[in-house]
Amino acid sequence: MQFQFFISFFIYFTLLFVIAISVRKKNATTADLLVGNRSLNFWVIALSAQASDMSSWLFMAFPMSIFLGGMPQMWIAVSLVVGMFCTWQFVSTRLRTITQKLNCYTLSSLFATIYGDPKGLIRITSAAMLLLFTTYYLSSGLISIGFLFGSIFQMDYFTGILIATCVMMAYTFIGGFVSVVWADLFQGIFLLGAIMVIPIIAFFHIDGIMAITTQAQASDIPMNLFSLSKDAGLEDIFYPLFGWGLGYFGMPHIIVKFMGIKNAKDLPKAKYVGIGWQILALISAAAVGFIGIAYFQNGIANPEMVFVEMSKQLLHPIWAGLVLCGLLAATISTMDSQILVCASALANDFYRYFVPSATNRQEVVMFRISVVLTSVIALCIALGQNTTIMETVYYAWAGLGCSFGPLLLTTLYSKKATSAGAIAGILTGGLTAAIWPSLNKLLITAGYIGPIPSMIIGFPLSFLMIFAVSSKTKVEVKS
């Protein structure tokens, strides 16, 4: 059986490297490596942006939240769809236009160019927050692959994440932005098929919807979208709705895809393709969780493995292997984009700033060194993790969203911010998201408040600091 799984995974990884090698010659310049020389069509950008969003969270963490928490967890999906739609609507076109005009390839370089950064503080601050939270995000993908390989190949955790790190590092190193987006297009189609097929097959192995509702009632799992537990209030709806969706405005690994489209006028078409894909993917992932309630009536040792165990039990090993490659596709399509933005920050923001005389070739070499460095840091974080994938993803999601979301919206829609305000906003949002989970636990233990997501605290605080500090340090901002 393990050999049959191996065949499926070998085919999948081979296709990834074929894509990377086929576009290698297109990466002659920094613009090629970082944004594909702004030459890609709307189909590629739409599916690449959405695929780089979902990660293993779609296959493992979200089905688990439905499996354990029932219908109210669907507010997370609503939040994500609304948040991504608003990002396409209010960020994509303006960002694509302004970054081309200013010849910027990263958020750090955009902020530095707009507000002025003679001492490099904006670049250093934004790149530091990006590296901190993105490498943490990367570690969640490695953790999920470690679980997956352990379940399928009885492989130890370290070996699993080491293999995953080497694969990611190698094909991002070879291909750069173009290989990432084309691989994400392939993976976006592949993972959507995988996440859709399993709940359809599994549904015919239970006694219909009544089996789900009956088991949910027996397990005290709410099945009403507006269900509130006896000890809860409207925050059960409010927190998931705003605690996730706001993060999209500050996700560099998603936002950078907007910069790579050939024609900014095609972004509205990309928006509808991408949102359609996202809705199908989230509904299918939710279906895995709901059907899992009836399918695993006696529970499951690790609820994050609902999709994996369902696939293994329902399908022949070769087909199960191909479907589980969908989980790999979700994970890798996010990880490659995250490695890309981290390497871009190191090469384009740190190296280019401190070595302004660097040639184009030297920048490309530095980018590839940065790919290796980022991958190794993420590996080290994954080795020391003892939290769930959901907790790890949300920590990084909130950190990135609070660090960059408020400042990006301010940059695109206001001229009132200053360099000092920009730095204050990044630091306030990022540090709040980093510290709040621990502080919140202390306050909960003391009985002062209940659990509050980091995004609810950090996002508005970042906005407040941007405008408060900017009002005290007013200068004319470049138009």
pLDDT tens-digit readout, 239-267: 877 889 899 999 988 888 888 888 888 89
What kind and span of H or E run contains 405?
helix 389-413
* Greatest alpha-carbon span in the chain: 68
Name residues whose C-beta falls within 8 Å of residue 243's C-beta, 6 or more positions apart in sequence. Answer: 79, 394, 398, 453, 454, 455, 456
Number of structural domains the chain divides into: 1
- What pLDDT is recorded for position 14? 80
| Per-residue model confidence (pLDDT) at position 55 | 73
CA–CA separation, 73 and 239 (whole Å): 11
Reported as half-sphere exposure (CB side, CA atoms, 13 A), residue 463 has a value of 15
Domain-embedded: residue 476: no
| Residues 122 and 423 sit within 8 Å (Cβ to Cβ) | yes
- Tell me whether residue 349 is in a domain: yes
Average pLDDT, whole number, for the chain?
Answer: 84
Specify the pTM. 0.84
| CATH classification of the domain holding 46 | 1.20.1730.10
Burial of 307 (0-12, 13-18, 19+ CB in 10 A): buried
Inside any domain, residue 454:
no
Amino acid letter at 394?
Y
Task: Dump pLDDT digits (tens) for 219-243.
Answer: 989 888 876 554 555 566 778 778 8
Supply the range of the domain harboring residue 28: 2-388
The answer to whether residue 440 is domain-embedded is no
Q: Does residue 145 lie within any of the structural domains?
A: yes
Predicted confidence band of residue 152 (pLDDT cuts 50, 70, 90): confident
- Report whether 339 contacts 172 (CB < 8 A): yes
* DSSP string of 317-349, one letter each residue: HHHHHHHHHHHHHHHHHHHHHHHHHHHHIIIII
Nearest residue to 40 (alpha-carbon basis) of 264, 332, 248, 360: 264
The pLDDT-based confidence of 138 (bands split at 50, 70, 90) is confident
| Tens digit of each residue's pLDDT (9 = 90 or more) over 332-363 | 767 877 887 888 788 777 777 778 777 777 87
User: Of 126-140, 367-381, 392-406, which one has max mean pLDDT?
Assistant: 392-406
Contact 53, 327 (CB under 8 A): no
Beta bridge partners of 40: 261
Question: Does some domain include residue 378?
Answer: yes
Burial of 119 (0-12, 13-18, 19+ CB in 10 A): exposed
In a domain, 259, yes or no: yes
Q: Which two tokens stand for residue 395?
A: 């920590």
449 lies in some domain: no
